[in-house]
Amino acid sequence: MKKILIIGANGQIGTDLLSELRQKYGQANVIASDIKEPQTFDQHFLILDATDREAVRQTLIEYKIDEVYLMAAILSANAEKIPLKAWHVNMTILLNALELAKEGYIKKLFWPSSIAVFGPHTPRINTPQITIMDPNTVYGISKLAGERWIEYYREHFDVDVRSVRYPGIISWKTLPGGGTTDYAVEIFHDALTKGHYTSFLDANTRLPMMYMPDAIKATIQIMEADEDSLQIHNSYNIAGISFTPEELAHNIQKYLPGFHIQYKPDFRQTIAESWPESIDDSQAFKDWHWQHQYNLEAMVRDMLLHLSKKYHKEANLVL
Ligand code: SER
């Protein structure tokens, strides 16, 4: 059985990815790591600072790791507050992993890119796989540079690295940490606990989003795809659901009729306006049969069912 290391296992995507990979490959075959301790004890967890290449190398050797999922990053909104640190962290952890893969310590690497690689001159509707990319956020610049680096390492050093451009990811287990699309998760928590939400994006800001089960499916599917079928060597567009804060609120109101939303856009509005509204993922469909499953209605229902249990508010839901 292969051995897997997740870097950033306590994060929003890392948490769900960890449980899915462990179900598939067994507890002890999937090592979790992060810079912070997890909330619950995990005997296969270790503290790992991915900017420290020697520490990562030691971990790979000690646990005889084959595959790495590099899920750690400083997200878009947080990165704007600490630009040089975000650039340093996001690039160093990727280049460390690529170097270690080049040296033969990693057989296969997953590294996520983002819709943040696009910018104000990118066509915003059905954004193509190959198009103008002029990101104007630190996070987006680091992801675009990362995309160039992974393709470079593949071409020059035959490193097997796979990547998708995640849209905003919605999930109930773990909160996202400092992104522009975080409103689409916060809104559910506030709807259930307070009955109202103040959105930091305007009512009509349409962004590409995806429900977590689809994001995990895409991640594992591209890692398991036949290498020869992958025509794209930077990062694949993947699409899920595109909606606005107003449309999301409207769907939540179907289950929580008393819920209301107000809008107070902040600096994240400018970031959102530089990103696509919807994504053309036909290349991913063609090469590795990617298709999302959850639409807006199914996602909202599932989120509310899970979170209402967590907050003991099941009785409030109109089902
Ligand atoms: N959800 C991410 C962010 O907002 C996009 O990759 O930063």
> Over 90: is that where the pLDDT of 220 sits?
yes
Taking the centre of ligand 1 as the mean of its atom positions, its distance from the CA of residue 212, in whole angstroms, is: 13
Q: What is the mean pLDDT of residues 196-214?
A: 98
Residues in contact with 112: Cβ distance below 8 Å, sequence separation at least 6, in sequence order: 13, 70, 71, 73, 163, 164, 165, 166, 219
* Minimum CA distance residue for ligand 1 atom 2: 179
The tokens describing 261, both together, are 């939303």
Distances (CA, A) of 260 to 20, 47, 185, 202, 298: 35, 41, 15, 14, 20
Q: Above 90 in pLDDT, residue 215?
A: yes
Asked if residue 129 lies in contact with residue 236, where contact means CB atoms within 8 angstroms, the answer is: yes
pLDDT value at residue 177: 86
Give the pLDDT band of residue 40 (cuts 50, 70, 90): very high
Is the separation of the CB atoms in 115 and 240 below 8 Å? no
Is residue 138 located within the same domain as residue 254? no
CA distance 16 to 64: 23
Q: Which atom of ligand 1 is nearest to the CA of 112?
A: 6
Helix 83-102 to helix 138-157 angle (10° resolution) is 10
Distance from residue 262's CA to the centre of ligand 1 (Å): 22
Instruction: Please say whether the beta carbons of 209 and 44 come within 8 A.
Output: no
The runs of H, that is alpha helices, within 178-281 are 183-193, 212-224, 245-253, 267-273
Indicate whether residue 166 lines ligand 1 (CB < 6 A).
yes
pLDDT computed for residue 302 by the predictor: 98
The mean of the pLDDT values for the chain is 97
Q: What is the rounded CA–CA span in Å between residue 180 and residue 257?
A: 26
* Cβ(151)–Cβ(134) below 8 Å: no
- Does one domain contain both 163 and 304? no
The span from the first CA to the last CA of the chain, in angstroms, equals 43
Percent of the chain with pLDDT over 70: 100
Question: Is the C-beta atom of 168 inside 6 A of ligand 1?
Answer: yes
Please report, for the domain that includes residue 254, its CATH number: 3.40.50.720
The rounded distance, in Å, linking the Cα atoms of 224 and 200 is 37
Q: Do residue 184 and residue 274 come from a single domain? A: yes
Residues 268 and 287 in one domain: yes
Q: Decide: 139 in ligand 1 pocket, CB within 6 A.
A: yes
253 — phi, psi (to 5°)?
-60, -25
The CA distance from 212 to 16, in Å, is 8
Q: Can you give the pTM of this predicted structure?
A: 0.97
64 and 16 share one domain: yes
Number of domains in the chain: 2
- Model confidence over 238-293: pLDDT tens digits? 999 999 999 999 999 999 999 999 999 999 999 999 999 999 999 999 999 999 99
C-beta of 208 in contact with ligand 1 (< 6 A)? no
> Cα–Cα distance between 196 and 192 in angstroms, integer?
8
Report the DSSP beta bridge partners of residue 113. Answer: 165
In this predicted model, what pLDDT tens digit does every residue of 8-38 receive, in sequence order? 999 999 999 999 999 999 999 999 999 999 9
Segment 195-199 mean pLDDT: 98
In the numeric block, which tokens belong to residue 310?
Answer: 């967590």
In this structure, the answer to whether residues 19 and 163 fall within a common structural domain is yes
- Give the model's confidence band at 114: pLDDT under 50 very low, under 70 low, under 90 confident, else very high: very high
For residue 228, how far is its CA from the centre of ligand 1 (angstroms)?
A: 30
Answer whether 116 contacts ligand 1 (Cβ < 6 A).
yes
**What is the CA(263)–ligand 1 centre distance, in A?**
20
pLDDT band at 41 (very low <50, low <70, confident <90, very high): very high
Joined tokens for residue 184: 């689409």
Catalytic residue among 63, 105, 139, 153: 139
| Residue 110 contacts residue 69 (beta carbons within 8 Å) | yes
Q: Is 139 annotated as catalytic?
A: yes
86 and 141 in a single domain? The answer is yes
Banded model confidence at residue 85, pLDDT cuts 50, 70, 90: very high
Query: Is 164 near ligand 1, meaning CB less than 6 Å away?
Result: no
CA of 57 to the centre of ligand 1 (A): 28
Note whether 115 and 191 are same-domain residues: no
Within the chain, where are the H helices? 12-25, 53-62, 76-81, 83-102, 138-157, 183-193, 212-224, 245-253, 267-273, 282-288, 296-310
**Within this chain, do residues 222 and 134 fall inside the same structural domain, yes or no?**
yes
> Do 154 and 126 fall into the same domain?
yes
pLDDT in the model for residue 35: 97
Q: Are residues 246 and 268 in the same domain?
A: yes
Q: Which domain holds residue 99?
A: 4-168+213-230
In this structure, the answer to whether residues 86 and 108 fall within a common structural domain is yes
CA dist., res. 258 & res. 102, Å (int): 56
Joined together, the tokens standing for residue 114 give 């983002």
Q: Which tokens go with 50?
A: 């991915």
